[in-house]
Chains A and B, each alone.
Chain A
Amino acid sequence: DSGVTQTPKHLITATGQRVTLRCSPRSGDLSVYWYQQSLDQGLQFLIQYYNGEERAKGNILERFSAQQFPDLHSELNLSSLELGDSALYFCASSAQTGDRVLEQFFGPGTRLTVL
């Protein structure tokens, strides 16, 4: 058990819909990362938050957005869903001192299926 929790575990929805994925980081970790993993594109970094503020952006679509709340949990919002958004979405957390990223601890993931 990494200490990172994600809900829901599975999500099935239709094209055009909007969903919210939730992540609670390990106790004490200020950084939260979101990743998308699919068979054709592998593990893709989406976005990082550090103590409530956006820290880094990766290959995140404009239809996707995220935020980190004062209690440090984070949500990833996916809207106008397309079939190609079907994937595993992982959240990870880490401690971070200064500019150096330390090891990440991954949650179990949310499997999103868009029909």
Chain B
Amino acid sequence: AQSVTQLGSHVSVSEGALVLLRCNYSSSVPPYLFWYVQYPNQGLQLLLKYTSAATLVKGINGFEAEFKKSETSFHLTKPSAHMSDAAEYFCAVTASKIIFGSGTRLSIRP
């Protein structure tokens, strides 16, 4: 069985501050993990993915995520937030099917 938990439905940070969006997963098989971003009135766009290679994964727009098996986590980070990062972020885990988390809305304060 698989599941994904995103801690915090809404995160607000100042422009230039660190962004940290949390994702914990459970999976009965070695997981593939993904982060997607959704801008207003658009579809989801793949940000980055982990497929059992390097545990530190770099994605688009300066985001990265680290796979930590011992903590069953795949948190998303960005060193310095930009106004254009405001969006909804979804973590997902896949084995035979894909399970999405409930999403975290990221707001950026000027």
Contact = CB atoms under 8 A, between A and B. Distances in A.
Interface in A97-111: 99-109
Q: Could you say which of B36, B44, B102 has the most chain A C-beta atoms within 10 Å of its C-beta?
A: B44
Given A42-B103, A100-B32, A106 B98 contact: no
- Give the contact-size bracket for chain A: 20 to 34
Interface string B11-36: 00000000000000000000010101
A101 B98 contact: yes
A103 B46 contact: yes
A95 B37 CA distance: 20
B96 A101 contact: yes
A108 B103 CA distance: 18
18 contacts: A2-B45, A45-B98, A45-B100, A56-B96, A90-B43, A99-B95, A99-B96, A100-B32, A100-B94, A101-B97, A102-B32, A102-B94, A103-B46, A104-B46, A106-B36, A106-B43, A108-B42, A109-B43
Given A101-B97, A104-B44, A106-B43, 17 more contacts: A42-B103, A43-B100, A45-B97, A56-B96, A90-B43, A92-B44, A99-B96, A100-B95, A100-B96, A101-B32, A101-B94, A102-B94, A103-B49, A106-B36, A106-B44, A106-B45, A109-B43
